[in-house]
Amino acid sequence: MAATATNSWLIQRVQNAFQDGIIRAYDTLKVDADRYLAHLRHAHGLPVDSFRQIFYVHPNILDSIADQTISAAVKLATAEGVGLGLGGIFTAIPDIGVLSAITMRMIQKLSLVYGFEYSTDEEIAELWIAAASAAGVNMGKDLLEKEVIERFVPRVIERITIKAGAEITEKWVTRMVPLISCIAGGTLNYYFVRQWGRRAKRHFRDRHMRIRRRDELPPIDERATLPPSSEM
C-alpha cells in the first residue's frame, strides 16, 4: 500500500513538473518566429524572406536542418540530465521541468523549419497536435473541429502530460540513487528528446509534403531566387 501511494505521489509530481515545463516553454520561452527566420537565413543560408517561401526549398535541405535541430536539443538535454542527475530524486523533478521546456522549444523550431508558424488559432492547434504526435498521442482533427482553441489546447496538454508522466516515471526509478542517476539522467534525457524529436519531425515533414503536393510546388535549388513574399 505504501509503495502504491509513493508511486502515485511521484507520478503526480512528474506530471505537474512536465506540464509546467511545456506551458512555460510555450507562454514565456516561446521561440520567436521572426528571429528564427533570420536564424534560418544567416546560420543555414536559406534564401527566404517568409515562412511561406520555405515551401520552395528542397525538402532534403529542410530535413538536414531538422536533424541538426534535434541533435542540438538532444545534446542540451543530455548535459542538463547529467548535471542535475547528481542530486538523485531530489533534482529529478526540476530536471523534468527543464526537459519538457527543451522538448517543447525543439518542437516549435521544427515547426518553423518546415514552414509552419503558430500565430493564428489554427496554427496554434496544429502545433499542439504535433506535440501530441511527438508524445505518441493521437489527437485527431475531429476533436479540434468540436472544440474552440481555449478548450482544445488544455485537453491536448492533459493528454501529453499523462503520457509523458507515465513514461518518465517508469524509466526514472534509477534516479533514486545519486551516483547512478548522474549517468541515467543524461541517458534517459538523450533517448527521450531524440524520440520526441523524430516523431515531431515526421509529423511536420508529412504535413509539409502534403501542402507541397496540394499546391504543386516544385523543389528548387537552395541558390535559386524565390518568388517575392507578396506574390505568394
Nearest to 156 by CA among 120, 130, 186, 185: 130
More confident residue, 123 or 15: 123
Q: Which helix (H) or strand (E) holds 8?
A: helix 2-27
| pLDDT per position as a tens digit, 52-82 | 999 999 999 999 999 999 999 999 988 877 6
CA atoms within 13 Å, Cβ hemisphere of 229: 7
Per-residue pLDDT averaged across 153-178, rounded?
A: 73
Q: Which of 1-10, 121-130, 163-172, 204-213 has the highest mean pLDDT?
A: 204-213
Assess contact for 222 and 46: CB atoms under 8 A.
yes
Q: pLDDT tier at 227 (50, 70, 90 boundaries)?
A: very low
pTM attached to this predicted model:
0.81
Q: Is the pLDDT of residue 166 over 90?
A: no
Rounded to whole angstroms, the Cα distance separating 192 from 76 reads 12
Q: pLDDT tier at 137 (50, 70, 90 boundaries)?
A: confident
pLDDT at 205: 97
CA atoms within 13 Å, Cβ hemisphere of 171: 16
In the block, cell 499523462 appears at 162
pLDDT at 6: 46
